[in-house]
Amino acid sequence: MNIILLGPPGAGKGTQARHLVETRNMVQLSTGDMLREAKDSGTEMGNMVAGVMARGELVTDEIVIGLIREKLEGDNKGGFIFDGFPRTLEQADALGHLMSDEGKTLDAVIEMRVDDEALVDRITARSTCSGCGEVYNDNTKPIPENGKCTSCGQENLFTRRADDNEESLKTRLMAYYKQTSPLIGYYYAKEMLSSVNGLGTVEAVQGEIKSALET
Ligand code: AMP
């Protein structure tokens, strides 16, 4: 099964994708993670996109489609979770073509709905364990006092994303509403869309996604 998790920054796509990786043996394809990796390792492409990402704008379709193309080749029985891709109609069309070229199908698109105020609260309070990707929140799930990640047990690997600040979040939200939200209608028309309430607890959202994938 191949699925897209669609939603604004802070909707919880990464957290839910990690759960699906663990429980369903799926492979998470996060273009945001791929771009951050390129930036951190200082590749030519990484240096090119660094400023765009820091401002919260979208990098070019050509770059992200290229990244996804490389990952789709070959067998993957558990299926793919597209996390943060596609983000434009052009990317959605390209994904459709890439999948059919590989003899694969896109089975479901899950829209995660969260209101803007909650997104700002979540993002400005967010930190992540760079060892395993576990997400923490200063208010609702603070970093443990002993400095050990509750998920992988590694110490002091907590980081805050450079673009998790109010200024770039505004640009990221605007990019979502202008460029990405049309995909909701696009996949609705293709009869692939399910919507879940992204404001519930992590477990409640997991349950809603599970039901959506089983119908
Ligand atoms: P994310 O981790 O998904 O929030 O992505 C972080 C940043 O990477 C975004 O704000 C964009 O600058 C860039 N990015 C990630 N995925 C895409 C995409 N599919 N299209 C364009 N830009 C992207």
List pLDDT tens digits, range 96-113: 999 999 999 999 999 999
User: 185-194: per-residue pLDDT in tens?
Assistant: 999 999 999 9
Q: d(Cα 150, Cα 205) in Å, to the nearest integer? A: 20
Average pLDDT score over residue span 129-138:
92
User: 151-163: per-residue pLDDT in tens?
Assistant: 999 999 999 998 9
Q: Compute how many other C-beta atoms are within 10 angstroms of the C-beta atom of residue 38.
A: 21
The amino acid present at 1, given as its one-letter code, is M
Cβ burial of 181 (10 Å; 0-12, 13-18, 19+) is middle
What is the atom index within ligand 1 of the atom nearest the CA of 88? 20
Q: Known catalytic residues? A: 13, 87, 126, 161, 172
CA 92 to chain centre: 15
Task: Say how many Å lie between the CA of residue 31 and the centre of ligand 1.
Answer: 6
What pTM value is reported for the model? 0.93
Q: d(Cα 19, Cα 202) in Å, to the nearest integer? A: 10
CA 98 to chain centre: 19
Q: Is the CB of residue 3 below 6 angstroms from any atom belonging to ligand 1?
A: no
Task: Specify the pLDDT at position 106.
Answer: 97
User: 55-65: per-residue pLDDT in tens?
Assistant: 999 999 999 99
Cβ atoms of 32 and 57 closer than 8 Å: no
pLDDT(75) > 90: no
Question: How are beta strands 126-129 and 135-137 bridged, if at all?
Answer: antiparallel
Q: How confident is the model at residue 144 (pLDDT cuts 50, 70, 90)?
A: very high
Q: Is the CB of residue 176 below 6 angstroms from any atom belonging to ligand 1?
A: no
Task: Specify the pLDDT at position 79.
Answer: 96
